[in-house]
Structure formats: C-alpha cells, structure tokens
C-alpha cells in the first residue's frame, strides 16, 4: 500500500491524479464491474468528483473505492429500472482479466468462481487482491469493521479454493 | 488493527488470484484528466446552500400566500351618533343685536369696495398676467426748488436779480 497515495485533494495535482489513475483504474473498474455494466463511467465520475472536492478526504484511495462502489450500485439500480431485467453482461466475465498463458490460472474459471461468490465476498476479494487496500480501507469502503472485512476475505478465499480446486501447498 | 496472517492454503489462493491481471482500463485517460482539471478549477458548490435557499424561499412564498389569502379589507366601524339640535340662545341673540346700533354703512361700503377691487386685481393678474395691471398715475410735476446760493457772489447776484 502506497502511503503517499492518501493525500489531500488540494495537493492532488495532475501528477497525483495520473498516478491514481495508473495504479487503481483497472481495479476500480473491476470493482465497479461487479455491480454494473458501465464501470468506466462510474470510475470516471468518481475521479472527477474527487478532484472537485472543496476539502480533500484523508484517504483518497479509500474514498475512491467507497465512491466507486456506491456509484456502481446506483448505476446498477438505474439500469434495472431502465431495462427491467438483470444485466447478465456484467457476469459473463469475458473481459474481467487479461488473457493468461495456457499454463497459468484459467481466467475464465477464476471469473466463474468469482462470479459465483456472494457479492459481499466478491467485493472484498477485488478490493484486497487487485486494489491492494488494507482491511481498514475495505471496512471503510463497505461500511463495516476491520475484523468483519478480514473474516469475509478469508471466507471468500476458502470458497474460491474449493470452486477452483486450487491444491493446498501442503498437499503437494 | 493488525491484520492476521493468512494460512498457507489461503495465501496460495490469494497468490493465484493475484496472478490474474485485470483487463486494460477502458477509461479515456485524456478526457478524465481534462474533466478532473475542470472540476478542480470549479469546486462543487455545497448542495446544502441551495437546499437551504430553496426551503427558505418556499416557506416565505407559502407564508406570503397564506397572508394574502387570509387578508381582509380595512375594518369598517359604524358608530351611531345622535346629534341633538341645539336650541337658539335667546340671550345671545339679544346681545348680538347691540352692535347694530353702531353700524357704519359708509365704512362698510368702502371696505367692500376695497375688497372688490383687490379681488378684481387678483383675478386680472391670474388671467392676463402682471402686464394687465394698469400703471399707477405718475406723481404731479413738482417745480424744482430754487437753488440756494452757494457763495457770496451768487448771493449778491441773486439779490440784484430780485431787485431789478
């Protein structure tokens, strides 16, 4: 976790914003994709909102993940209202990850396993593994406690291990 | 809070997941930077200010509307006053007849004539202007007083002229 990323937005110059964009854009989009079908719009709105704040949040990264999650949930609700059916596109997972070599983990299997997780587990996994957030930041994002965030994370990893049949290192 | 270390099997799952790289961001980076820069120049105004202003204006409008609807015209108070006709005071009438004995008809006529002339003059000025006022008669020509001798010589000349 880059401690310098948590800076007031007053000091959030172009370089800092570019750094946030490069470091977290993918993970933020992945997080937003868990809820809605327009993750790039949600992330863009959140970044713009961060720069428009009169007083900066203490933790800009945590603030971003919180706002992206909230906006993505709102966007999903709006989409459901418009189309009256569940957006299956966000669950197909075709574009969640970069295609991997054949000998590496099957991205499609990982996506399938992730998509099968309960939402509260999935968002913890995304925020922790690809966002690099601490459990304190995840707790702030989800509106829960640190211990609850960590417990959900461990439970989600256990479920994924079962679904993806990842062998335990001790068994090898 | 200190984070508990993961067990070996969960750490392996975590490492496996971390090997997956999220797909390339589809954000338009230049557009995001532009919008963010614009937003930083124009900080978002507090919505509470607008909400408070709207609520205050709405309340004021409702209060004024209620006052307008409930307004009544000026209250008319009808008061009945019975006026009794006063009887003529006989003593007073008798006392008023006393000055008639001293009534000067000529003086009263002159006073009325002066008043009438004054009123005519006022009326004339009002209708025709100041030029309509007749010029007052010029004073009669007065013979110049003889010049008094100013010196002894003039006095002697004057005496000679009078004595022929």
CATH number at residue A29: 1.10.1740
* Residue A8 binned pLDDT confidence (cut-offs 50, 70, 90): very low
Length of chain B: 164
Position A138 pLDDT exceeds 90: yes
Counting residues of chain A whose pLDDT is more than 70, the rounded percentage is 75
A113 and A53 in one domain? no
How far is A30 from A130, CA to CA, in rounded Å? 8
DSSP code at position A97: B
Inside any domain, residue A172: no
More confident residue, A147 or B21: A147
Inside any domain, residue A124: yes
Final residue of a domain: which of A39, A68, A90?
Answer: A90
Q: What is the residue-wise DSSP string for chain B?
A: -PPPPPPHHHHHHHHHHHTS-BPPP---HHHHHHHHHHHHHSPPPPHHHHHHHHHHHHHHHHHHHHHHHT--PPPP-----PPPPPPP-HHHHHHHTGGGGG--HHHHHHHHHHHHHHHHHHHHHHHH-GGGSPPPPPPPP-PPPPPPP-SHHHHHHHHHHHH-
Q: How far is B37 from chain A (nearest CA, A)?
A: 7
How far is A141 from A61, CA to CA, in rounded Å? 10
Contact B39 A154 (CB under 8 A): no
**Interface pTM (ipTM) of the complex?**
0.71
Give the total number of structural domains in chain A. Answer: 2
Q: What is the pLDDT of residue A99?
A: 67
Q: How far is A117 from chain B (nearest CA, A)?
A: 14
A70 and A35 in one domain? yes
Write the pLDDT tens digit of every residue in A9-51: 444 677 778 888 888 999 999 999 888 888 889 999 998 888 8
Contact A168 B43 (CB under 8 A): no
Position A56 pLDDT exceeds 90: no
Answer for the pair A130, A30: CB distance below 8 angstroms, yes or no: yes
Final residue of a domain: which of A66, A90, A114?
Answer: A90
Residue B77 Cα distances to A4, B72, B74, B80, angstroms: 81, 14, 9, 10
Nearest to A110 among B10, B17, B36 (CB): B17
Helical residues (DSSP H) of chain A, grouped into ranges: 14-33, 39-51, 60-83, 89-92, 107-116, 119-125, 135-142, 146-164
Low-confidence stretches of chain B (pLDDT beneath 50): none
Nearest to B33 among A17, A50, A98 (CB): A17
CB contact A135 to B (< 8 Å): yes
How far is A163 from A153, CA to CA, in rounded Å? 15
A14 and A86 in one domain? yes
A116 and A76 in one domain? no
Q: How far is A53 from chain B (nearest CA, A)?
A: 6
Chain A CB contacts of B44 below 8 Å: 49, 52-54
Answer for the pair A166, B13: CB distance below 8 angstroms, yes or no: yes
Final residue of a domain: which of A74, A90, A106?
Answer: A90
Nearest to A100 among B20, B24, B33 (CB): B20
DSSP code at position A117: S
- For residue A121, the domain's CATH number is 1.10.10.10
Over residues A115-141, mean pLDDT: 91
Q: How far is B18 from chain A (nearest CA, A)?
A: 6
Residue B161 Cα distances to B148, B153, B154, angstroms: 14, 12, 11
3-state SS assignment for residue A43: helix
A114 and A77 in one domain? no
Inside any domain, residue A77: yes
Answer for the pair B32, A44: CB distance below 8 angstroms, yes or no: yes
A154 and A109 in one domain? yes
A110 and A76 in one domain? no
| Enclosing domain of residue A20 | 9-90
Nearest to A48 among B4, B12, B35 (CB): B35
Position A54 pLDDT exceeds 60: yes
CB contact A52 to B (< 8 Å): yes
Look at residues A22, A171, A105 and name the one whose alpha carbon lies nearest to residue B24. A22
Task: List A residues 55-94 in contact with B (Cβ-Cβ < 8 A).
Answer: none
Inside any domain, residue A171: no
Helix axis angle for A146-164 and A135-142, nearest 10°, is: 100
A85 and A29 in one domain? yes
A81 and A134 in one domain? no
How far is B39 from A49, CA to CA, in rounded Å? 7
């Amino acid at each position: 976790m880059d401690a310098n990323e948590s800076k007031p937005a007053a000091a959030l110059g172009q370089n800092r914003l570019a750094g946030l964009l490069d470091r977290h854009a993918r993970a933020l989009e992945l997080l937003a994709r868990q809820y809605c079908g327009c993750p790039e719009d949600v992330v863009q709105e959140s970044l713009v909102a961060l720069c428009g704040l009169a007083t900066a949040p203490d933790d800009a990264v945590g603030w971003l993940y919180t706002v992206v999650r909230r906006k993505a949930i709102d966007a999903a609700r709006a989409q459901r209202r418009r189309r009256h059916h569940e957006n299956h596109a966000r669950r197909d997972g075709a574009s969640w990850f970069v295609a991997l070599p054949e000998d590496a983990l099957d991205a499609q299997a990982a996506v399938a396993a992730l998509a099968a997780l309960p939402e509260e587990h999935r968002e913890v996994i995304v925020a922790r593994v690809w966002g690099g957030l601490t459990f304190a930041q995840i707790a702030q994002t989800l509106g829960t406690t640190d211990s609850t965030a960590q417990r959900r994370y461990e439970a989600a990893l256990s479920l994924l291990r079962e679904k993806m049949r990842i062998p335990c290192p001790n068994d090898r | 809070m200190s984070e508990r270390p993961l067990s070996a099997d969960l750490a392996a799952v975590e490492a496996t997941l971390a090997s997956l790289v999220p797909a390339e961001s589809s954000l338009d980076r230049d557009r995001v930077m532009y919008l963010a820069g614009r937003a930083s120049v124009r900080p978002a105004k507090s919505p509470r200010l607008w909400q408070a202003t709207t609520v205050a204006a709405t309340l004021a409008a409702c209060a004024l509307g209620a006052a307008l609807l409930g307004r009544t015209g000026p209250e008319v108070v009808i008061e009945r006053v019975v006026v009794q006709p006063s009887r003529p005071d006989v003593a007073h009438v008798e006392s008023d007849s006393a000055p008639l004995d001293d009534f000067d008809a000529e003086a009263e006529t002159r006073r009325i004539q002066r008043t009438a002339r004054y009123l005519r003059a006022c009326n004339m000025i009002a209708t025709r202007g100041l030029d309509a006022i007749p010029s007052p008669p010029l004073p009669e020509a007065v013979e110049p007083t003889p010049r008094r001798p100013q010196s002894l010589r003039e006095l002697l000349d004057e005496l000679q002229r009078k004595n022929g």
